[in-house]
Amino acid sequence: MVGRTDLLHQVSRGAAHLDDLDLNPLLVQPDSGGLPTRNTVKGRNEVRETLDAQMILDAAVRCSKRARRCS
């Protein structure tokens, strides 16, 4: 959902004291200049020497081992 302001809209709560916070400036669609408006893998700068990358690899190995045991 990060960056998907196109899926959000402000709703009225039915009372003036509940509707005094205008969130519309947060929901504006930015001009992307032709670039993707969603997160894509293409063009990302991967840094493999990070702890989170190692944790993801470790989890993938464990999941694949578990799947082989169960099949």
Write down the pLDDT at residue 40.
Answer: 62
Write down the pLDDT at residue 69.
Answer: 62
Q: HEC states along 24-60?
A: HHHHCCCCCCCCCCCCCCCCCCCCCCCHHHHHHHHHH
> Do residues 27 and 9 make contact, with C-beta atoms less than 8 angstroms apart?
yes
> Do residues 24 and 10 make contact, with C-beta atoms less than 8 angstroms apart?
yes
Sign for the CA dihedral angle at 54, 56, 58, 60 comes to: negative
Write down the pLDDT at residue 21.
Answer: 80
Write down the pLDDT at residue 9.
Answer: 77
Write down the pLDDT at residue 27.
Answer: 78
Question: What is the rounded CA–CA span in Å between residue 50 and residue 67?
Answer: 26
Write down the pLDDT at residue 47.
Answer: 67
Residues of the chain with pLDDT below 50 are 71
